Amino acid sequence: MGKIEIIQGDITKQAVDAIVNAANCSLLGGGGVDGAIHRAAGPELLAECRTLHGCETGKAKITKGYRLPAKHVIHTPGPVWHGGGRGEDELLASCYRSCLELAAANGCKTVDFPSISTGVYHFPLDRASRIAVREIDAFLKEHPEIERVRMVCFDGRTKASYEEALSEL
């Protein structure tokens, strides 16, 4: 109990075993949190990402953290919201599971997530936050080796939504 935390902040500043990047399928950078992570990590991150040959929506790939305080970056392309009829819920759930599977496989005990898909990709926030905390909670129950998972929310509205979702678990 109590292994999921919600904070407000900048994910690029977090000194954890792994931060998650809300990427796109190219894994070659973009705007939002993806742009911030690449800027803070430095050009070595993009160089490693080029060797990965992209990633499918809902899957994840791991790199080193380079100049970030975090040891690793786990890159996951979330679904673009198209109204809910194109498997968006299951794809978003798969992002959280895939990232946590990679974290566990790489010995990461502390993992920080941004709010995947709720920016440029327009996934409805309250729907996304419920899916996220449900998947994280389910995974942690099966993987006691992961010590802490945080949602690092950039703004107060996002933080409030994840807090509400966590309280409903």
| Contact residues: ligand AR6, CB under 6 A | 10-12, 22-24, 30-34, 36, 78, 114-121, 152, 154-155, 158
Q: What angle do CA 65, 59, 32 make, to 5 degrees?
A: 55
H/E run at residue 126? helix 125-142
- Residue (90 or 145) nearer to ligand AR6, CB: 90
Query: What backbone torsions phi and psi does residue 115 show, to the nearest 5 degrees?
Result: -80, 90
Q: CA of 21: how far to CAs of 28, 34, 97, in Å?
A: 11, 6, 14
Residue 113 and residue 25: Cα distance in Å, rounded? Answer: 18
Of 17, 34, 112, 137, catalytic: 34
- Residue (1 or 49) nearer to ligand AR6, CB: 49
Token digits of residue 79: 């679904």
E strands, 9-160, where?
18-23, 61-64, 72-77, 110-113, 148-153
Minimum gap (Å) between residue 61 Cβ and ligand AR6: 14
Residue 33 carries which side chain, given as an amino acid letter? V
Instruction: Single out the residue of 138, 95, 134 nearest to residue 118, CA to CA.
Output: 95
Minimum gap (Å) between residue 92 Cβ and ligand AR6: 9
Catalytic site includes residue 34: yes
Active site residues: 34
